[in-house]
Amino acid sequence: MATEFEDSVSNKRSRDSASSSVFHKRWRHDVSGSYSPKRWTYDVFLSFRGEDTRWSFTSHLFHSLEEKGVNAFIDNSLPRGEDISSQLIDTIRSSRILVVVLSKNYANSSWCLQELSEIMECRNKSLGQMVLPVFYDVDPSDVRKQTGCFGEAFAKYEEDKDKETVARWRAALTEVGSLSGWDLTNSASGTEAKIVKKIARRICNELNNAYLDVAKDPIGLRPRMIRVNEHVNDPSDDVRFIVIWGMGGIGKTTLAKAVFNQFFHSFEAKYFLANVRENSEQPNGLAHLQEQLLHDIIRFQKIEVGNIDRGINVIKERLKRRRVLVVLINDFTVSAVFLQNSLSHSHRTERGEGRKENIYSISAKTEFLSSGKKKT
């Protein structure tokens, strides 16, 4: 029986302990349902403080998305009260990408904080949604630590809101303030118009990253997904390799696609390549694969590695301390060179601890068929 290296997971936790605990909650996937893409009502939901950005930044972003054919939701038509409506909660839950525009008066609105709490709860349930923060004339550290104008708002909430509500709002701000986004207080990010274009382009790229097609409820998929989930749920910092192996035509690729669909939204970046062998056999093929991986993970930046050895070092440097999902299909040897040498090398962290690799083997037996029919 030939073996094939088909799935590699590199999971490197954030050094921030608060966001680390949140990250592990996100791994508790429900693996009982379908692994086909969810149908979203909206592509994008915009959360913002109306008096700060409704007629400026948020309006410009909304129209930029609209021009690109993105179905974005903006709550101009909804009446506001003390509590957000069930209609708005449903809208948040049915939107693929959740953009949070954090401005000076954002935390002064209990409505905005309720929106944000729901948004971060959706993210932590791993429903396939992405949260993109925009720090509009506010310091991300003020958001993360609730200091400055955010601290002033919470001084009032501590007096007239219950402790559980205040704690939930603080946790949501701490988490969103720890996410990678756009900081408009940093002139290096460019002008407001340029940043609007960057955000719209990033959103379009994410929306174009469609889920992989997987047969509906193939026989034998669920128990193997549960096994994969157990390995991915490993709380250690170690690089993780999951090897899916078995005879040809029994559903290994179907399982790998289902793994990708189920987990990719929980990573900072992802890469899926179905024809490793064919691509690697081209002139300088493996180096080109390394360049494609880096391009897909580091957006809008073309990197030329030149040769395989340099590519390995570049991948090591660019992917360290990042949560990355990489799925490679159809060649154990090439995949091992491509990933294991790049990701599994033990290195030192700031805590002085060495990392090690965990390799898990999952057999796709002959009763597992991608067609969903049992073998007779």
Q: Which of the residues are catalytic? A: 115
Q: Give one word for 306, left, alpha or beta, with left for phi > 0 and alpha for psi -120 to 50.
A: left
H-helix segments, 146-251 = 148-160, 163-177, 192-208, 221-232
Q: Count Cβ neighbours within 10 Å for each residue of 81-95 and write b for 16 or more, e otherwise.
A: eeebeeebeebbbbb
Phi, psi (rounded to 5 degrees) for 9: -115, 125
CA atoms within 13 A on the CB side of 309: 0
Task: Round the CA-based radius of gyration of the chain to a whole number and report it.
Answer: 22
- What stretches of 59-129 adopt beta strand conformation (E)? 72-73, 95-102
Phi, psi (rounded to 5 degrees) for 191: -70, 165
Tokens at 96, concatenated: 């693929």
Phi, psi (rounded to 5 degrees) for 99: -100, 125
At 9, is the secondary structure helix, strand, or coil? strand
* Residue closest to 166 by CA, chosen among 174, 175, 157: 157
CA atoms within 13 A on the CB side of 219: 11
* Residue closest to 107 by CA, chosen among 179, 47, 189: 47
